[in-house]
Structure 1
């Protein structure tokens, strides 16, 4: 199987970013890791281990903060273990991460087989070299998802809370109502620049997050209205999200727009 891979290292406002992409079959996926004030945030995927491990060796972090347990964020956590670098994450899936990841074939193809790793539980506040990071619970994309706010610089590391301004497809496990609640929570904090694990650097982060909240709120309202008109999940999907994306068939439905609809209806 032939993949096209690219990696780009940049710096924004004192934060070093590494983006790596992996593409095949018309599907292109990317992930980021960030280094700020002696702290590495997320570790990238195991399939892209060469650039991410080089990045880790270059920046030499004193600790690693994990936004959530998905394999494109924890793929090189075991490498950090081997270097003696503490890995901190939400304890919800710590036990599962001590074993090799077990997930659908297409995810293993794109992100590799994430090795088992050891971690410590995240505290509420993290003191790094000169800065202070606040840990904010932001579930929705994953139950253990957290975001990190550098209170010293006003920079938000949002994991997969943002990703794109107009969500069209989500994972089966995602919850749009939960994401809406998490965005509302994050908007109560003071931040400007945002670093997203798939969108990268977002200069006006708070504005972008507000726009996403407005979009998702309107989606929720429309889904609810169509449901009250008597439409089912598939009918609402066809009305609101008629476009098909390659990842929908490639993932055998794990990524699909109908999960947006069903997650909203589950809370009615």
Structure 2
């Protein structure tokens, strides 16, 4: 199968980034890795190792911070560990699973490659870089182990997959909209300005973007609960709120689906 791969390297306000992209049959996915003030945030995907390994080789950092265990964020972590011998930090709940061979669906292996096992250390609640103190903020919902990183000195917030886009239309089967709502509320209690998302990239007014996402998800949550109380089934609610069928739904074998938005809300009422 033919995949189209590309990458763009750049910098924004003291943050260097590599943005890798994979395209196949109408589906296009991308992911960022960031280097800032002696910190490498996420390592990119194994399928794009040509780009991300070169980025790791060129970047100036003393420690690696991983937002969560998903393979597009940890795909080159084993390379970083082997080539630099520097510490890699991850939510403690994922240390054991990431030290073993990864197990995830074939379509994700197609896009992101097969992540190799790597060793990591437990993520502290706060950590320091060359010139700053950082907060590692618990932000579960997209993944159980998800973290966001805030540079207290610059007000730069690195959100991993917490944001991605304002108006969420599909989510993975294990995601939880109520947990994402709680995580957004938690992040918004911190002082920050710019946002660096692992898929949307640089967002100048991060607080506004995250607030708008929170408002949107709370509106969806309200609509789902109201329609369910009126006697409509999850399938009926999904057809009403999300009538469009996105290519990723079929391609992923429904691991990604609008239906999961509805079910996650109803299961945690």
Q: TM-score, normalised by structure 2?
A: 0.99
Alignment partners' CA distance in 1, 2:150 and 2:88: 18
Residue 154 of structure 1, CA deviation: 0.2
In the comparison of the two structures, how many residue pairs are matched?
268
The runs of 4+ residues in structure 1 deviating greater than 3 Å are none
**8 Å CA contact 1:20, 1:32 repeated in 2:** yes
Correspondence for 1:213: 214
Matched residue of 1:62: which SS? strand
Query: What are the Cα deviations for residues 204-249 of structure 1, in whole angstroms up to 9, with x where unaligned?
Result: 0001000000000000000000000111111100000010111100
Alignment partners' CA distance in 2, 1:132 and 1:49: 30
Alignment of 1:17 onto 2:36? no
Unaligned runs of 5+ in 1: none
Residue 60 of structure 1, CA deviation: 3.2
Correspondence for 1:244: 245
Alignment partners' CA distance in 1, 2:3 and 2:168: 26
Correspondence for 1:86: 87
Unaligned runs of 5+ in 2: none
Correspondence for 2:27: 27
Correspondence for 2:255: 254
Alignment partners' CA distance in 1, 2:234 and 2:115: 34
**8 Å CA contact 1:67, 1:73 repeated in 2:** yes
Correspondence for 1:4: 4
- Give the superposed CA RMSD: 0.6
Residue 193 of structure 1, CA deviation: 0.2
1:21-170 aligned within 5 A: 21-83=21-83, 84-170=85-171
Q: TM-score, normalised by structure 1?
A: 0.99
Alignment of 1:202 onto 2:196? no
**8 Å CA contact 2:35, 2:60 repeated in 1:** no
**8 Å CA contact 1:80, 1:86 repeated in 2:** no
Alignment of 1:235 onto 2:236? yes
